[in-house]
Structure 1
Amino acid sequence: MSDLTSTNLSSYGTLLAENQRLKKINAALIERVEAGSAFNAAPYAAFEHSASLAEQVRERTEALSVAMGELRQTNQALKQANLSRTKFLAAVSHDLLQPLNAARLFTGALLEQPLQGELKHLSESIHRSLQDVDSLLGTLVDISRLDAGVINPDISIFPISDLLDNLAAEFTQICDMEQRHFRYQSSSRVVSTDLVLLARILRNFLTNAVRYTTPSSRIVLGCRRRPNSLEIQVLDSGIGIADDQLEHIFEEFRRIQPESGLHDRGLGLGLAIVDKIAGMLGHQVRVMSIKGKGSLFSVTIPLAEPQLNTFPALQTESSDQQLLQNSEVWVLDNDPAICIAMVSLLTSWGCKVKTFEKSARLSKELACYPQGPDLLIADYHLDEHESGIEAIQRLRGEYAFQSAVLMITANHTSSLRQRVRSLGYRMLNKPVKPLKLKVTIAHLLRQVT
């Protein structure tokens, strides 16, 4: 479709230029005939030549009209294709991610149980398989959204530790499960970029580091100060990349051939997504690798001045588990499977959990306990065309509770992200990763304690 558009635009430009040129020649000839200058000896021949040029102008004008009509038809076809792609992305985001979200929560709860032997092995296998589905589906949605141009950067100023600390907590547990040694060097710098898109870049780097390393390998996440910028690096001691492959690794569907014992379960789109996002943000991505020794991937982002009274001091003396223990967490979700899965997972972390499938039931509970819970987790898409944000804002107006709020949604738009942030809430996209959910809940509970 894009090739057809380019061809039509090229034809349109060529015809337009030729038409203008012929008009200029025709006008000049007519002017000379009327002035009786260059063609005094043969005015009829000059007139005949001018008439011939006029006929060529008419023919080119007709061809130009045809090309413009074809271009309009092509543009209409492109609009229809983009509309279909938008509808597909919406269907994938909700209809497919919803059951996958429930499955991830259920397996997360299962892994919290003290299983032994074959049951433990089976639960871990299910977890890895769902993780693969999550990664593949998320990658396809990401590349489609980038190609459709529906992603708009949401630039903000924040301490890089807000992102890196959460990523480090998440991948520390992942590396423990995958038998990799993970090390993290924090930074106190403040940066200016899109937090969510930067997180996508770094998650791709870290996921590849786990995927292309063998057990007992080292993975390091850290930062280096550059002039007016910060370079975030992911270093691994994995299989490395051959020199002749380095220039191709950011191409779509390009995968590194893994060594025996490693299974590449990706599509070869992760680094293509990194390249597109980095280009959108104007960030430099760098890669260095030695075959058989390991690789270093990095992204460089601009530094910013800290904004006073914007970021609360982190209280790191309490562990995540201690914060979760006996905390009151309520869940508002119209999907019964999600409610059941949330109860199983959050209870295994020590939380006291109540679930509500309708905002009216939550309202009745708040009538009895107007102070609300420590944390309220709400799905964005509820029944009767009500959003989770609308429900919470309405209930806060009635009961004035001050609970921390976590919004769960399949909507990836920057406008929703900005709205959630402006209200002081946090947001996670479906399917929710249990480890990421745990880290986020702990972060929110720190703010209310």
Structure 2
Amino acid sequence: MVYLNTTLRVGFMPIIPYVKLEADGSVWGEVASKLGNISESIGLKLDLTLVWTLPEDMKWGTRLPNGSWEGMVGMGANGLVDIIHGPNPRAVFLDNEYDPSSNFAYEDLYVMATIPSKYLPQSVSFNIFDVETGIALLCILVLSTLLGMTARKIESIFEAKNVSFWSAEIIMGYGKTITQEGTRVIGGGTANQVLFGSWMIASFFFMNFVTTSLKSGLLIQLPYPRFETMADISTKPDVKPMMAHIIATVFKATPTETYQKLIEQLERHQSYTNPRDMFTPEIWQEMAGGKAVLFATQKMAESCLPSLCPTLGAYAYALKERPYQMQLLWYFVRTVPKEIQDAINIRTDWLNEHKTRWYTDYKTIAQNRYFCYLRKEARAQVSDYEALNVGQFSPFILLYLVCSGAAILSFVAERVWYRIQTGNIHLKRIQTANAKRRRRRAGTQVFI
């Protein structure tokens, strides 16, 4: 099973859609290409990640003289592991949490590689929908509709009383001006728009906070896609052909003379186990002699390096930014003969020198399978625009509460002021009527 994980960023609003695709590698390649074209045209940021599981009979590592396999560094269910293949496969966990009595299962090992879009097929359109963003937009639509209806209803009530809704002027400090009749507030229409607009802006920020919190799994643990393991798909008869088809399709290209030379040297090298042993005969047959495998591995190495250089200075930065690709590089270096390493400027001693540092730096990143790493990555992206973290109070909520409270208080203040004004007017009318009556009585009195 293949999962395509993309990250699209629109302003400060994250969109993190997950697309689950079946066996046909060309499909996700076309989708990725389309995503890349769209992102370039509208200026979005695109990160493309391909994830797949290792078939049980895939041998990754170097065959030792005793017939066992010295495996690459992998990321398993319990952290970074050093995989030992052979009749009794086992894993040496580097986080000191490994129980020696437990058996290592191949389904605990995953391989992740980032493939640049330039290596993928072109064309085809697709439809993609982000559920969390859709929910947020729907909530914003409903909220804005209700706010609009409420504001219009309030305004109609005041219009019936010949009083405009001017509470925003109290909050904004504009003051108030009452006509001689004492029943009409000047400038109320604009103030109403200001209040409604500020309320809508606050609501948008609040819904954006809810959306980002949902995406980061902080408020509600949404069902993020779970990467299927061999235990899940071992009963499917098309697993091996599917893997072969994906690898062969994704890296479908004619190797250059350099790649062809490497392939020939690799196949002729006597001290290295034939690469055909890495796959079953069925898979090998579909992979056209294994050339796609080496080509794919080389492309994987290139995908996380700015360039292949003699000093390997680019390795440090690339591996620091993309720790999940370390294992691919390790596999590539450990399985290529020494003379081929020298030919392409790959120095094993440099990699060995930094091996311990890699273990230390990335031990805490790879925990609880890869989907946890992706969720941590999503949380890191969300923190860029101040989404809610555990134990913190979001400024979005504060803004929403302040604006909502101001709207409510201003409404109450206006009603109180309106009652005071109408009460004063009524009192003045009573006083005026009493004065008139007194004057009339005084004018009709007869003095003898």
TM-score range, shorter chain: under 0.3
As a proportion of its length, which structure holds more strand? 1
Q: Taking structure 2 as the reference length, what is the TM-score of the superposition?
A: 0.19
Q: Which has the higher contact order (CA 8 A, sep 6+)?
A: 2
Q: Taking structure 1 as the reference length, what is the TM-score of the superposition?
A: 0.19
